[in-house]
Structures are given as structure tokens and as C-alpha cells.
Amino acid sequence: MRLVGTSAPRAEGEAKLTGRARYVDDLPLTDFLWGLTVRSTIPYGRILSVDFDAGADWSGVTIVTAKDVPGKNVVVLLEQDQPILAADRVMHREEPIVLLAHRDRDRLWELASRVRIEYERWEPVLDIDASLALEQRLFKDDNVFKAIRIDKGDVEAAFARAARVFERTYETGLQEQAYIENQGMVATWDAAAGRLEVVGSMQCPYYVLKGLCPIMGLAPEKVVVEQAATGGAFGGKEDYPTILAAHASLLSYKSGKTVKMIYDRVEDLVATTKRHPCRTRIRTALDASGSILAMDVDATMDGGAYCTLSPVVLSRGTIHAGGPYNFENIRVESRVVATNTPPNGAFRGFGAPQTIFAMERHMDNLARELGRAPHELREEYLLRPGQTTAFSQNVGDDVYALDIQREAVARTRFEERRRECEEFNRSSRWERRGIGLATFLHGAGFTGNGEVVLDSRLKVDVTADGFVQIYSANTEMGQGKDTTFSQIAADSMGLPMARVRIITPNTARVPNSGPTVASRTAMVVGYLVQEACGAVRKALEAHAGRTWRDPDDFASLAAAHHRERGALEGWSRYEPPPGKVWDDKVYRGAAYGAYAWACYVAAVRVRLDTLEVTVESFDAFQEVGRVLNPVIAEGQIEGGVVQGIGYALCEEVKMRDGVMANANFTNYIIPTFADVPEVKVHFAERPYPFGPFGAKGIGELPMDGPGPALASALTHALGVEVNRIPATPEHLLELLGNE
């Protein structure tokens, strides 16, 4: 290997630096219309009438309502419960009802205010408790989108013989993805050809294709979806782009013109999906000596008005709820419920940050209750080789939680610094200091049989002039996918990166290699790149009777193959690792092929007059298989940690009457460089045999640890349990006031 393991320059870096990269709002359009959405102003009720002010000039305006949908008025995801345009009732504030298109965007905004919608208002369900109490039936008979139960051992018997029970409740709030580039789509309907083309900011082109076909009443071969350069996503451009693509397509279909829809920041914040809020109760059965007999975990997430991806978010959250621990007896019961708030969906971590926060805070609180150091209690229960998780997966030898925690404790001088903080706090009048840690794991790839169901395929070909081309539906959105794929391909072929080209994700050109989500791109699809390149290399070497000496020699051998044999292609298809079996009915078995293991250590300083929190240091230790590109991998960890700091300390979504009330970056506070310390990233490398050159997935991992590590540090500093995030100054004041 010459490139894998090195910090090779980013493949798309020059295009972005020079401005050649075209984001959706940069696309050169001439004859097009702007699109705009008219949304509900109430959280729950019946639509009585939709009127268009007769005093306004509606000439040249395209108007689309639910009756104009040529196919099915439904967003096809896990449940077909969400209309693409509300027809008779609204389930949440900001639900789309009417679409408008016109050449003049300013005029559109004025005309939107002239659409009069009358409602019969119903009493909304705005929180988990009201949903569970069935104050209104929003989804089926119980308001539950999905419920899961995991059992290991005999929890009831363990509680029956317990000397005492320790119980706490933990809460995590909504979080906005806060990508730099707002949601945007361009749609063009060619009536003569009966063909629809969509280009936009997205993570998953084939998701958009799958969603558009039933709405537009078109066969898949009549729809083409292409990703434009995408300025960040973090899950927010996984499921939601289907809705925006459909809206632009409906306007284009009716007008016969290309339609461009770009949300402004406020619309993006109020209307699109966010991280699910979660409330988790954990009860622990202890014997007389303080040993853990059993864990009973009960988690409830708020899914919002429609199902979207809530069941699979809940699934990952449930599976990660037991943490990296070997509890002899554990039960996890979970559910995600409906409320009259905008639907929640995918966000980096996908349910795991919520339940990992609860378990890690609980282990800290339990250690405090027992008079033990937090790392010492964890060490007693961390998984060892051959032990089983809460869902009965035998981890075999691929388990490094104990090693990672011991390394983190030693290298950060954790015990010594705890004592230093406590000594400082005894003498300081105006400040308090604390240090905390979180130890956790994150499964890479789709849960359970998900990767088998996806059946991902990937193609590599070689041009006659000697360039290797990778055809994949996986998208570049700032995470470095183009670069790592290029490194894998170049080393697999024995060529420089300059000889590798990444084909733009376009559903008419690339096979379905699955979505760019779930920490799967580098590990799962990168392995397909390696395999497809191996097939191409084998075919070319067989034809030539030898390998190549250098890039020019490779080009001459490729040219000869094209002349004598024709096209040179290699294909690969996902195959599950041997011996990995998952039972989705009882939630037992091998949930993931591989896990990344981590321990994060955070130190904080708190001013007692303002309760302002300063993160003084942050160390992130993780085992991730093989590091493909150190700079990119470090950037993934650093970026995830910063998002996690925001989740823990300041990113508070304020809901009022079922909608985000602080929908701007003045009042929704995200961390800046002034708010974060240097994030020290430490990698341990133990190659995974079914990842490219041994790599595992790491994209979501760093989102899991900052919340519990920082809450642990705040608890250590202030002497009060911080069991809810974000831990804003107002929340800390409330906690201190209760002591």
C-alpha cells in the first residue's frame, strides 16, 4: 500500500477551492421558475378551504395542490402515512399544503401571503406524555410508530433478589443538523419524452428515485436523480430531499418549466427533520455488596407527526442502549410515538447518542452512589472477548472497550486530574472544575439484515486511455468519500490517485450501492471498491499475461484490451461476513458486522456567577480498524465532537405551539471555534477483515461520546447530577437551585 494510511490530498479539494464545484444553487439555469411552499399555520386540524385572493395578480403563477399529484399523494418510506401535500387535514405546523412557482421569487413571497387557508382547529398532542396518554389518536390505535423489546437473562428474578434498586431518568432534546448549505432541488419535466430529471443536495439518490416514482406515477427508467455538490448533511439530507424533490417535480410537471426550490434558513429550520428527543428511565438491581444484578432500560422517543425513519432510529438506539457492557441480566424496552410536531428523522448517530447518553450517565451516577470512581465501575462490566451484548451478540475477539478505556485513563491522567479538580473546587470561590469520561461503541453499517436487504452493487471500469472509474451511488458531502475511494482504488490497482475518477452519482449511470448513511460508506462500500478493482486487475493481467510496470504501461495494456476484447469492467456485490446471523423478530444475534470502540475524556470549567461552561480539554480515543486517511479521519472525529459539544451544552430547540420558535442561528446557538478546545484525536488500529484494507466505519461514532462525557464533567464540577442535555446555564441554575 502506498496511499491507504496516508493523508492524501482531497480528491474534490481543488474543485471546491476554485469554485468549479457546482452546488444546486450554482447550477447554470436560464429559463426556469422559482418554487415556493405554502405551509400550515396550525399544528393539528381539518382543512376547510384553500382560497387565492382575487385581488392579487396570479398571472404566470403555477399552483399545485394535492389534487394535482399525478400518482400517489404519499411519501414512500417505512409507513405510507405522510402525504406529499396535505389534502384534508394537517398533522403539524409547517406541513406543506400548496406549491407556487413563478419567475420572480420576490413576487412569490408576496403571493404566498395571499393564499387563505381556513381550518377547523383540533387540540394538538405536543409531547411524549400527551401521546402516551392517547389525548388524541394520531397513529393507529396507540400512537406508537414502533416498539421493541430486548431480553437477556432473567431481569425479574434479579430484581426480586436485589438488596436495593437505583433508578434515574435521562433526557436528550431535539437537535438541528445545521448543515451550511440549505436544502435545494432543481426539477425538469420533459413532457415529450415523458422523462423527469432532478438534481440537488442529497445523501441518497436512489432514495429520492424510489420516492419520486409513485408520486409522479412514473416507471424508474423515466426518472433520473443526480447529486449536486453537497455542503453537508449529517442525516438531514437522507429522507427529507425526497419531499423537496417531489415538490419541485410537481411544479415542473404542471408548468412545463424547470423549477428550482431553495429553502432559506428559517424555512429549513422550521420544516425539516431533526434528532428525536428521548426520555430514558434506567433501573438497576444491586446486591448487598453493590454488584449489578440487572439493568432495566425503558426509552421513549418523539417521532413527530409522521413515521419517516423513526423505526430504524429506534432500532439503533435500542441496540446501543446496553452500551459496551456485559450485564448478565438486562431488558431494554423502547418505543417511538407520534406527536403534532414536524417529523423527526435521520441525524448523525441515528438514535445511539440518545440511549448511550442515558447508559453512560447512569454508570456515572451509579458509581457516585456506590462511592466508586467512574472508570473503575465501568471496567468491571466492560465486554471481554467471547462475552455477549444486551442483544446476545457474541463479540468474539473484536472487542476493545477495556483497552481503549485503560489507555484513555492513563494518557489523560484521569485519576490525578480528578483529584486536582476536587482540590481546586474546595478553594475556589467563583469557579468550579470537573472531568468526566464516556466509554461506548458504535455499530458500522445497517442494522441486522439491513445490508443484505440493500444488496449493494458497485462497478469499476477502465477507459481505453488508462483511467480507473468508480461507479457508486454513494455521495461526497464533505466527509471525504471521493478521496478514500480513490485511495482504495489506486492501491488496489497499483496506480497513482490521478488515474482514478469518481463518477458523479446519477441513477441513470451508477448502480445502487446503497445510501450514504450508517457509518457504512468506507467500510461496506469501500470494500466493494476494493473487490471490484481486484476483479478488473485480474482480468487485465490475465489478458496481458503480466502486470504493469507504471501508469503509462497500464494505459497501453488497457488500450490493447479495449482493441482486442472490448470494455474492461469489474463488478462487486455485498456479501455478509460469515457466521453473522440476526433475528429481527426477537432482536437477537449479530446486529453489526463490526463495532468501533471509544472512550472520550472531557474537562470543563464553570463560572458560578453566570454558569458559563468552558470546555478546557477534550481527548477522543477510538479503535477504528484501519485508518484510511489520517487527516480525513481526524476531521470526522473533530467535527463529530464539536457537534456533540453543541448537543450537550447549547443547541436547544425551543418549541412553541408545535414549531421551532428560535429558528435562526442568532437564537439557536451552535458552537464556534471560540467555544471548543483543541480536540486531541487518538486512534488504535486493529484491522477488520471485511473492511477495505481493514477499515471500519467511524462517521457516527464521535457523536455518541461528548454528551455523556461533558455531563459527567459538569456533575463532577458542580456536585449535582446533570441528566438532561443540553445543559444550558438556565438548566444548570435550575439544578443548583434544587440542591
Residue 570's SS3 state is strand
Domains 13-20+456-573 and 278-447+584-737 equal at CATH topology level: yes
State the average pLDDT over residues 701-715: 98
β-pairing, 330-338 with 292-304?
Answer: parallel
Cβ contact 280:296 at 8 Å: no
What are φ and ψ of residue 72, in 5° steps?
-95, 135
Nearest of 111, 94, 99 to residue 35 by alpha carbon: 99
Cβ contact 214:71 at 8 Å: yes
Which of 28-37, 577-586, 675-684 has the weakest average pLDDT?
Answer: 577-586
Confidence of residue 716 (pLDDT cuts 50, 70, 90): very high
Residue 146's SS3 state is strand
- pLDDT tens, residue by residue, 259-301: 999 999 999 999 999 999 999 999 999 999 999 999 999 999 9
Question: Percentage of the chain surpassing pLDDT 90?
Answer: 99
- pLDDT tens, residue by residue, 131-143: 999 999 999 999 9
Question: CA–CA separation, 636 vs 685, rounded Å?
Answer: 16
Listed by start position, the domains of the chain span: 13-20+456-573, 31-122+183-262, 278-447+584-737
Question: CA–CA separation, 127 vs 279, rounded Å?
Answer: 11
Task: Check the CA dihedral 726-730-733-739 and report its sign.
Answer: negative
Burial class (CB in 10 A: 0-12, 13-18, 19+), 739: exposed
Looking at residue 1, what is its pLDDT?
62
- pLDDT tens, residue by residue, 41-65: 999 999 999 999 999 999 999 999 9
User: CA distances (Å), 166 to each of 283, 359, 362, in order?
Assistant: 6, 13, 9
State the average pLDDT over residues 413-423: 98
Question: Percentage of the chain surpassing pLDDT 70?
Answer: 100
- pLDDT tens, residue by residue, 59-97: 999 999 999 999 999 999 999 999 999 999 999 999 999
For 589, the enclosing helix (H) or strand (E) is strand 588-589
Q: Give the architecture (CATH level 2) of 31-122+183-262.
A: Alpha-Beta Complex (3.90)
Q: Which residues of 96-106 are buried (b: 16+ CB within 10 A; e: fewer)?
A: bbbbbbbeeee
β-pairing, 258-262 with 32-39?
Answer: parallel
3-state helix, strand, coil split of the chain in percent (to 5) is 35, 25, 40
- pLDDT tens, residue by residue, 208-217: 999 999 999 9
Arithmetic mean of pLDDT over the chain? 97
Looking at residue 133, what is its pLDDT?
98
Say which CATH class 278-447+584-737 falls into. alpha beta
Does residue 530 surpass a pLDDT of 90?
yes
Cβ contact 128:277 at 8 Å: yes
Residue 363's SS3 state is helix
Cβ contact 653:662 at 8 Å: yes
Confidence of residue 386 (pLDDT cuts 50, 70, 90): very high
Looking at residue 738, what is its pLDDT?
60
Looking at residue 739, what is its pLDDT?
55
Question: CA–CA separation, 729 vs 1, rounded Å?
Answer: 50
CATH 3.30.1130.10 describes domain 13-20+456-573: no
Which of 407-421, 495-509, 577-591 has the weakest average pLDDT?
Answer: 577-591
Confidence of residue 380 (pLDDT cuts 50, 70, 90): very high
State the average pLDDT over residues 326-342: 98
* Confidence (pTM): 0.97
